[in-house]
């Protein structure tokens, strides 16, 4: 298939391989983020609707969409964010959100008897990294897998053993990001580029090599 001959269905099939960075078991097509595709020669315009306004994962999703289409021969790729399909004519309004002390929930024991904690009931991840939904869904998936493969007395410890290292790493990143925001006035004293670099590195998940892949122009400055 050449880029010029691609149909909307072909584009959606390509993008079905692009996984959501927060819930990598689902694609951006399955989540309904990709709303449309328009092909003109070797150029393609993709319309996307974020799962919520200001979604921090959208930059990564847009880059992954471009990478997937470049690999299939498209030379010019535009990604446009649109909100009209989900708003259905309603206006955008402020949610009147305020900064607050984040409730850090931690549980050393993940289960008791046949009762298991997952998601925010088990532990919270600071909202500045936007991974709370991802953790909850991956907990549920891992728990279902453990229960399917082993009897209950063995399944629950296996679930904890499989998930705890992953969860601890992500929660540590969330805590680091939250701490960065707690000291926001100090960061405001930095020069613009130093401020941006501090923000990008706040969770410890993006190193210079990864930044060079996702934002090469910024990395070169």
Task: Give pLDDT tens digits for 72-131.
Answer: 888 889 998 887 766 777 776 666 656 667 888 999 999 999 999 999 999 998 888 877
35/94 Cα distance (integer angstroms): 24
Contact 79, 48 (CB under 8 A): yes
pLDDT > 90: percent of the chain? 38
pLDDT in tens, 15-25: 999 998 877 88
The pTM of this model reads 0.56
In 3D space, the residue among 30, 63, 32 whose CA is nearest the CA of residue 48 turns out to be: 32
Tell me the backbone φ, ψ of residue 138, rounded to 5 degrees.
-70, -35
Burial (CB < 10 A; 0-12, 13-18, 19+), residue 46, is buried
In 3D space, the residue among 122, 148, 149, 126 whose CA is nearest the CA of residue 137 turns out to be: 122
Torsion of CA 10, 14, 19, 20, to 10 degrees: -50
Residue 43: strand pairing partners = 40, 76
């Amino acid at each position: 298939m050449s880029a010029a001959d691609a149909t909307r269905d072909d584009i959606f099939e390509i993008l079905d391989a692009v996984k959501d960075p927060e819930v990598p078991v689902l694609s951006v097509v399955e989540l309904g983020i990709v709303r449309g595709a328009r092909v003109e020669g070797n150029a393609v315009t993709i319309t996307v609707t974020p799962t919520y306004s200001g979604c921090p994962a959208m930059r990564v999703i847009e880059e992954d969409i471009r990478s997937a289409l470049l690999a299939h021969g498209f030379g010019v790729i535009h990604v446009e964010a649109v909100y009209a399909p989900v708003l259905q004519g309603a206006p955008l309004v402020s949610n009147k959100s305020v900064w607050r002390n984040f409730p850090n929930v931690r549980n050393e024991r993940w289960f008791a008897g046949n009762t298991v904690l997952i998601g925010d009931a088990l532990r919270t991840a600071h909202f500045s990294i936007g991974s709370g939904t991802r953790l909850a869904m991956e907990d549920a998936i891992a728990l279902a897998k453990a229960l399917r493969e082993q009897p209950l007395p063995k399944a629950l410890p296996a679930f904890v053993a499989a998930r705890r290292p992953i969860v601890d790493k992500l929660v540590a990143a969330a805590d680091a990001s939250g701490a960065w925001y707690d000291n926001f006035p100090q960061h405001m004293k930095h020069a613009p580029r130093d401020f941006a670099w501090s923000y990008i590195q706040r969770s410890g998940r993006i190193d210079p090599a990864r930044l060079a892949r996702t934002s090469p122009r910024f990395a070169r400055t």
